[in-house]
Amino acid sequence: MDTKYTSVLDQIQTLDQRESFINAIDQILDARFLTKANIDEVVEKKTTLFNAKILLGLLTKYKEIYKDSEKFDHFIKDIRSYINELPVIRLQVPIEYQTRDVSELYAWFNTNVKKKVILDIHQNNRLLGGCIVEINGVHKDYSLRSSITHYLSPQK
């Protein structure tokens, strides 16, 4: 995947957004193949405003691609594959995260981890503070609750 796409795709930050975006791509691929309809119309009609903005943003940026049917297919499948293979980081946090807050977290990952990730955020009030991180089947508890329990453990 060309890294030049990633700035447009940075809008896809959560697992829900990724699923919705992939679903939108699949609909476009099906619709275009079946009806040969105008791609702009399909994008606007078949997807949500959020996904349409991303897709049209990409298509506007790479006009030469979507005028060529073969190149377009390759391009859109490439994006689908890239997004689908991004690592998912599941976070359990003790507070409710709004879209604006998610962007703060996403920015932190961009700056500190230096790679694009997809966030899957869940609220868990029992943590008291901190968070639980899960990535590729690895689960690590960095919550305040865990620290307290650790310090009260008889094995300590």
Partner 1 sequence: MIGPFLPIIILLLTISLLIFVLMYAYFLHKRVTSLSNQEIHALDQSDGILKQAHEEAEKIVKKAMEDAEVISTNADSFKADLQKSMQLILKNSSSKYTDVFQKEIDQLLQSYRQQFVEKQEKYLKEAENLMNDEKLSSQFYLQKKVEEEVASAKKSIEQYKQEQLKQFDQKVADFVQEVGKKVLGHALDVKDQKELIFGALEQANKDGIFNI
Is the CB of 49 or the CB of 137 nearer to partner 1?
137
Cβ 108 to partner 1 shortest distance, Å: 6
Question: Can you tell me the distance from the alpha carbon of 24 to that of 121, in angstroms, rounded to the nearest whole number?
Answer: 22
Is the CB of 49 or the CB of 138 nearer to partner 1?
138
Cβ 49 to partner 1 shortest distance, Å: 28
SS (H, E, C) the chain: CCHHHHHHHCCCCEHHHHHHHHHHHHHHHHHHHHHCCCHHHHHHHHCCHHHHHHHHHHHHHCHHHHCCHHHHHHHHHHHHHHHHCCCEEEEEECCCCCHHHHHHHHHHHHHHCCCCCEEEEEECHHHCCEEEEEECCEEEEEEHHHHHHHHCCCCC
Is the CB of 44 or the CB of 104 nearer to partner 1?
104
What is the binding site for partner 1 (CB under 8 A)? 89, 91, 93-95, 101, 104-105, 108-109, 112-113, 115, 117, 128-131, 133, 135-136, 138, 140, 142-145, 147-149, 151-154
Is the CB of 36 or the CB of 115 nearer to partner 1?
115
Is the CB of 12 or the CB of 105 nearer to partner 1?
105
Cβ 80 to partner 1 shortest distance, Å: 24
Cβ 13 to partner 1 shortest distance, Å: 15
